[in-house]
Structure 1
Amino acid sequence: MPTLAALITYYRGTDADDMAAALESLAAQTRPAESIVIVRDGPVEAATRDVVKRFLDAHPEADHVKLTQNRGAGPALVEGMRHVDAEWVARLDSDDVATPGRFERQLAYLEEHPGVDVLGTALREFDDEVFRETGSLERAARGVRTLPENHPQIVRYARLNSPVNHPSVMMRTAAARRAGGYRDVHLMEDYDLWARMLATGARFHNLPEPLTWFRTSPAQTGRRTGWDMFAAERTMQRNLVSYGLVSKPRAILNCLVRSAYRLLPTALLERAYALLFHRRGTTDAASGAGEAAD
């Protein structure tokens, strides 16, 4: 049987209730991970510390890695990966929720398709404000964020955009390390890793089922339009050229297109985001999404 580690990071901005929901969803997996690596990225609020302490007390399989200073998502993930000792590693963000059958479903697919190194899934988006008012993920559900499924489609898509939903991913630890693992690429640490893994021959696939609940909020939209994001775009395009995924002219075009859509008014930005990420409606009850407890 393959071994699995789950990797989650948190920092000062992490809400205690969000962290509790994320950790509980990892503990509730029908096929639990053998280990859970939790990385604290610098000092955090007391309420969030208490949530993590209670979880650690109840789950001896969890490993708590503490960084004394806030270093950002990339360095926190680098440190977390140093503590992963499993064939596969699954990611979850501290404000998202994994459905109970997520790990079981992904591992089953990977056993049936041994050539795959990176397996993502669709995400079921939910409205943060509605969820806080109702306490129900189902009532807060919005669209389903999907990405291309098979490897050739993923390779083409990666030339323009990140081809895997990061909070949904399960990846072969050795393949990630062979590509150099996570790096400190501000706001783009996941895209940068996928690009390097593609360049080093890793095989990708995305499942169409939404196996992770993905939190959405106005603050999230704001993060896509900050000046830091424009600088990150330039860095990422330079990286894509150096990895051999795109030409310099294509990188310039990508940077112009991706930066231009971030300058749109909020309503148009949301529409562009929906088109870019192939988000569809919620009228169909996608497999796996309904498993999460309210």
Structure 2
Amino acid sequence: MTMPNDYPPFSVLMSVYKSDNPNYLDFALKSIEQQTVKPNEIVLVEDGPISQELHEVIKKHTKLFEGNFKNIRLKTNNGLGVALKVGTKYISNQWIARMDSDDYSVPDRFEKQLKIITSQSDISAVGGQVAEFVTNINNVIGYRKVPVEKGLISDFIKWRSPINHPTVMLNKKSLINAGGYLPYGNLEDYFLWARMLSKNMKLYNSNDVLVHMRVDDGMYERRGKLKNIKFFYALRSFMYRNSLINLKEMILGDFIVTVNIIIPGWLRKIIYQRVLHK
């Protein structure tokens, strides 16, 4: 596969599991294949047994993709953190672009991220902005806005995840040095950014929308799972021990997290749509 000489080769890392919609996966993979700068490798991890329909989509794109398509099959469903940790072992390149199985990457997403990577030194991760949509990508209902510079990212992480995980492009060496992906409830990405910042790695975000993220009411319910609260508390304790937050910020953050967990889903949806992701 041809690629501009000034851009490093990169891989796309994805995970799919049995409940994923085959049409959404097809849409996501098409958005990778239609990029202005294409990856030379896709590593897709099947997180446990999946449907025949999903297998057909994967088979189709294995033939269509103009590069190396690695399909890794796990015998049991272990969650995103484990799937990505396994998938990382199969990555051949130094840069890894994350992509979820039901999202859409804008056509020049990778090109924009690679321009940032090649124009700045020692970057460990580059993310971007997200447009949330329902039904089709033109029906945008909100945005997940994150700060650009490292200093603002360091402030933002005190309260919320500072990088939109489905948009990120990671340096593999930095990822491994930070401990790699780990199972951590629904917070494997937030925990990763905290570990990277604790090691003074350089994180950055593009100001541009790089990914259109599909949302539904289930997303707001998942953010209120009681079992996640222990991971939130553990994460904030980690940030406190590593001087990413002070004691006052840890206590206040724990209170906010607790309230977010216990409020009803309909109220959480209003807060996210009208305040956090407007």
| 1:164 paired residue number | 163
Q: Would you say 1:29 and 2:35 are equivalent positions?
A: yes
Q: CA deviation at 1:247?
A: 4.1
Separation in structure 1 between the aligned mates of residue 58 and residue 183 of structure 2, nearest angstrom: 25
CA contact under 8 A between 1:223 and 1:229: conserved in structure 2? no
Query: Which segments of 5 or more consecutive residues in structure 2 lack a partner in the other structure?
Result: 1-6
Separation in structure 2 between the aligned mates of residue 270 and residue 206 of structure 1, nearest angstrom: 25
Q: CA deviation at 1:114?
A: 2.3
Q: Would you say 1:87 and 2:94 are equivalent positions?
A: yes
Q: Would you say 1:120 and 2:119 are equivalent positions?
A: no
Separation in structure 2 between the aligned mates of residue 275 and residue 188 of structure 1, nearest angstrom: 23
Q: CA deviation at 1:185?
A: 1.1
Q: CA deviation at 1:141?
A: 1.6
Separation in structure 1 between the aligned mates of residue 137 and residue 236 of structure 2, nearest angstrom: 36
Query: Which segments of 5 or more consecutive residues in structure 1 lack a partner in the other structure?
Result: 281-294
Report the TM-score when normalising by structure 1. Answer: 0.87
CA contact under 8 A between 1:261 and 1:272: conserved in structure 2? no
Separation in structure 1 between the aligned mates of residue 131 and residue 95 of structure 2, nearest angstrom: 23
Q: CA deviation at 1:10?
A: 0.8
Report the secondary structure of 2:25's partner residue. helix
Counterpart of 1:105 (choices 105, 112, 123) is 112
Q: Would you say 1:64 and 2:63 are equivalent positions?
A: no
Question: Deviation string for 1:44-73 (max 9, x for gaps)?
Answer: 112111111211132351111111111111
| 1:17 paired residue number | 23
| 1:283 paired residue number | none
| 2:182 paired residue number | 183
| 1:218 paired residue number | 217
| 1:144 paired residue number | 143
Q: CA deviation at 1:38?
A: 0.4
More displaced stretch, 142-151 vs 266-275: 266-275
Q: CA deviation at 1:6?
A: 0.7
Give the superposed CA RMSD: 1.7
Report the secondary structure of 1:100's partner residue. coil
Aligned letter for 1:111? T
| 2:271 paired residue number | 272
Separation in structure 2 between the aligned mates of residue 84 and residue 202 of structure 1, nearest angstrom: 21
Q: CA deviation at 1:79?
A: 0.5
Q: CA deviation at 1:115?
A: 3.4
Aligned residue runs from structure 1 range 127-138, under 5 A: 127=134, 131=135, 136-138=136-138
Q: CA deviation at 1:24?
A: 1.2
